[in-house]
Amino acid sequence: MTTLCIGSEPSVLAKANILVMPAFAGASGFEVADAELAGKAAHGGQFARHVLRLDPSFEGKVGQLSALLVPASDQPAVLLVGLGAREAFTANTLREALMPVAYFLRKRGQGVIALDGLGAEPASIVRAAAEACLIGGHARMSKSEVVIELLVSGSAGLQRAFEIGMAAGRAVNWVRDLVETPGGDLVPARFAQIVAERARQLGVGVEVWDEAELARQGFGATQAVGRGSANKPCVVCLYPGRKEARLGLAGKGITFDSGGINLKRNAEEIAWMKADMAAAAAVAGAVFAAVELGADPDVTVVLPMAENMPGGHALRPGDVVSHPGGRKTEVVDTDCEGRLVLADAVAHLARSGVKEIIDVGTLTDGGGVGPLLWGCWSTSTSLAAALCDAGEFAGEPGWRLPLRAEYERLIESKVADIANAPLSVPDSGQLAATYLRTFAGDVPWAHIDNGSSAYLDQGFEPWPVGATGSPVRALLQLLLNRAGE
């Protein structure tokens, strides 16, 4: 567990084991950011000479850690962390650089990170540092404890930024822990229980719909997707404020995705399909963090949860399923189940009176944008811009991709209103978005595909293999922006 605090008194160094000092890379060597503090620390600020002697490879590149400089006196040891070129530095650079620092400190129990002299807006620096320390220092199975203090001038006026960073970091780790839970332990009912318990702790209105209620609400696709499993589907609805909310949020909560009758044939892919509920966890995590921060989010949340398994009662290719309002889908591919349950949620939200809808799902590879981004499709330029701007600010960027009505012809059906996948061409994030758009009606809508960013099967620095929490920070920032933060 990481305990984080913020202060501005250099006297804290007397109690520190390790002082972390950021350093910029330059043409003629690195430069410690806080030269004044460097002069008071061990070695009299002569870091370059000592570091180059002990660690000649240290150049100040982003995230690069120097050898630990251990003094002969009772002053703290010094660790330099690279930030790259000063002119290219942003708060997001600091996030990336401090995550490995937090991991390093986790093994040593305590440390102080100096944040003066970085040249960026102090509130964004403090928030980024808090997030990085909580995220980088977190390990689901670790019982070790670490205390980290952020040392920055004017800390009393930066408390709100610190609180936001803490809330964002906790939300990311809550999502990561859920995503890393084995599918056999996090079945739909258990997932719903965890989300509902957290909602009640925060005073958030919550409903959990069982199969009978799913039938009453018209969630035929969610029922059908879960039919092959002994673990029955359900839906969690969250109401942080009034039920007549402006924004509707939906998140795919497939607790394990075998592919169903269209069984996945890639062993590497099916091995991490416990992560197919990452979107529902991220949506819930963002809303809970906003509530913790007092942002009073004006949202209604719908989280369909199911386990997609083959079995005697499983959904078959060729079956037709119904959605709220009576719209029907022909199931061409049972492994395209995420869009089916999201179609239920989007159709329900469109009928509920919300003014905007955002759905999130690990549906495909995120539109080919790679592990650092999530893909976004939208019928509203302003909604897409609000999402992408929030993600960029939060250090969790997305990328808007084109949405073309012409692609609907690829998922036409002769027996239903639409098909969930194409027969004649490969499936894609584009077609998943095209399918979901038809359920939003005239309500401004956006779809986030976090399939490439929510879970990394290979590490991508500074992230290790596994869950990332994406896009919880982007969604939280959107809610904060709308609350006037």
pLDDT, tens digit (0-9, with 9 covering 90-100), for 405-435: 999 999 999 999 999 999 888 788 999 999 9
In-domain check, residue 16: yes
Do residues 207 and 143 both lie within one domain?
no
| Closest C-alpha among 26, 153, 140 to residue 469 | 140
Per the residue annotation, which of 339, 437, 473, 482 is the catalytic one? 339
Do residues 466 and 397 both lie within one domain?
yes
Give first-to-last CA distance, the chain, whole Å.
28
pLDDT, tens digit (0-9, with 9 covering 90-100), for 280-290: 999 999 999 99
Q: What φ, ψ does residue 384 adopt, rounded to 5°?
A: -60, -40
265 noted as active-site residue: no
What's residue 343's pLDDT? 99
- How far, CA to CA in Å, does 117 sit from each of 9, 62, 100, 184, 398? 15, 16, 21, 49, 30
What's residue 73's pLDDT? 66
Sorted by sequence, the CB contacts under 8 Å of residue 165 that are 6+ apart come out as 126, 127, 128, 129, 130, 131, 134
* Beta strand ranges found along 224-355 (DSSP E): 234-239, 247-251, 253-257, 299-308, 320-322, 328-330
In-domain check, residue 161: no
- Among residues 123, 153, 183, which one ends one of the domains? 153
Do residues 254 and 130 both lie within one domain?
no
Per the residue annotation, which of 190, 264, 351, 400 is the catalytic one? 264
Do residues 273 and 136 both lie within one domain?
no
- Among residues 101, 118, 153, which one ends one of the domains? 153
- How far, CA to CA in Å, does 269 sit from each of 47, 185, 274? 47, 19, 10
In-domain check, residue 162: no
What's residue 402's pLDDT? 94
Which residue do the tokens 């894609």 mark? 428
Sheet of 328-330: strands edge to edge?
A: 320-322, 328-330, 418-419
Which residue do the tokens 């009928």 mark? 351
Asked if 8 contacts 151 with a C-beta cutoff of 8 angstroms, the reply is yes
* Beta strand ranges found along 93-222 (DSSP E): 110-114, 146-151, 205-209
What's residue 374's pLDDT? 97
Asked if 30 contacts 123 with a C-beta cutoff of 8 angstroms, the reply is no
How does DSSP classify residue 72? S
What's residue 461's pLDDT? 86
C-alpha span between 281 and 272 (Å, rounded):
16
C-alpha span between 406 and 437 (Å, rounded):
12
- Among residues 95, 119, 153, which one ends one of the domains? 153
Indicate the pTM of the whole model: 0.95
Question: Which ranges of the chain have pLDDT less than 50?
Answer: none
Beta bridge partner(s), residue 390: none
What's residue 141's pLDDT? 67
Q: What CATH number should be reported for the domain holding residue 293?
A: 3.40.630.10
In-domain check, residue 200: yes
Do residues 249 and 360 both lie within one domain?
yes
Do residues 42 and 186 both lie within one domain?
no
3-state secondary structure of 224: helix
C-alpha span between 103 and 139 (Å, rounded):
9
In-domain check, residue 195: yes
State the total domains in the chain: 2
Do residues 122 and 258 both lie within one domain?
no
264 noted as active-site residue: yes
| Closest C-alpha among 55, 75, 57 to residue 67 | 55
Tell me which residue range forms the domain holding 84.
2-153
3-state secondary structure of 240: coil
Do residues 50 and 179 both lie within one domain?
no
Beta strand 328-330 with 320-322: parallel, antiparallel or unpaired? antiparallel
What's residue 235's pLDDT? 99
Do residues 260 and 190 both lie within one domain?
yes
Do residues 119 and 222 both lie within one domain?
no
Q: What CATH number should be reported for the domain holding residue 30?
A: 3.40.220.10
Beta bridge partner(s), residue 194: none
pLDDT, tens digit (0-9, with 9 covering 90-100), for 183-226: 999 999 999 999 999 999 999 999 999 999 999 999 999 999 99
In-domain check, residue 160: no
Do residues 204 and 336 both lie within one domain?
yes
What's residue 42's pLDDT? 54
What's residue 29's pLDDT? 79
Give the CA diameter of the chain.
81
Q: With both helix axes pointing from N to C terminus, report the angle between 472-482 and 278-292 in degrees, rounded to the nearest 10.
A: 40
CA dihedral 58, 59, 62, 68 (to 10 degrees): 30
Do residues 393 and 441 both lie within one domain?
yes
In-domain check, residue 52: yes
In-domain check, residue 164: no
What's residue 57's pLDDT? 83
